[in-house]
Copies of this chain bind each other. A is one copy, B any other.
């Protein structure tokens, strides 16, 4: 029998059964993709951006296709913490899936409350702070682009949170390394990057911005070179384990991120194109590692720096 690679990866306090996750906001609460494969196959499922109170989201249109990518301006539509805890989390727990909750607040206090409440319930393996959602006026970009604000916010959340803490960085900044170090100094365990790039499309028939929200977040293969570059940079700037994402469609894309320094990767937009992307990448990664004679992802993580 051939020696099969062990796909487990450790990210600081967190161990995943494999390094391929579903990215926040793209996999719902997991139910939508359950007809395709068992969610427990996922390295982890990062569930929909959660806020303290329910949010109705932005006016339509919320989506636009762009060259090799798409814009979204969902505006964090979600049922809020209470309904999440009462309805969604129990469903998720029954599925034996490794759940990470992506949270966004309109103020530091909201982040702290979310972190505290979510730490108190079982069935969640980590929290991911979204301080970078470009589609929400409050609680969005301002937190994400100032190093001082990040350090302060993260350290407050850190104190309120017993779970491993992932901080998700926005790419819409001059120096992502500076922000990564701020998150590290605030007490983040893990960094994830990147969120979407801020973009817009104009409807030339009307002359008006196409999206209801005017701007939206660019995701998909179009942004991959930017995302890989940022992972590469942040790997050099901090000692924290990284989760890389942005335009991953094929195993080679995932390898790029891991070689750039990511210990795990997340798949977002590609789920919409091929719902089987995550299990397909997990298998392909397995095959790749075996073919190379590697016994695990460790052999490739950060290879581009060696």
Could you list which residues of chain A lie within 8 angstroms of chain B, going by C-beta atoms?
Answer: 64, 66-69, 71, 145, 172-175, 197-202, 204, 207-209, 214-216, 218, 220-226, 228-229, 232, 247, 252, 255-256, 259-260, 300, 303-304, 306
Decide: A204 and B259 in contact? CB cutoff 8 A. yes
Question: Which of A172, A215, A225, A260 has the most chain B CB within a 10 Å cutoff?
Answer: A225
Residues of B within 8 A of A209 (CB): 232, 304
Question: Which of A68, A200, A223, A260 has the most chain B CB within a 10 Å cutoff?
Answer: A200
Which chain B residue lies CB-closest to A175? B145
Decide: A255 and B200 in contact? CB cutoff 8 A. no
Distance between Cα atoms of A67 and B68 in the complex (Å) = 6
Instruction: Give chain B nearest CB distance to A55 CB in angstroms.
Output: 23
Decide: B252 and A204 in contact? CB cutoff 8 A. yes
Instruction: Give chain B nearest CB distance to A53 CB in angstroms.
Output: 28
Distance between Cα atoms of A173 and B176 in the complex (Å) = 10
- Contacts known (A172-B174, A202-B260); A218 close to B225, Cβ less than 8 A: yes
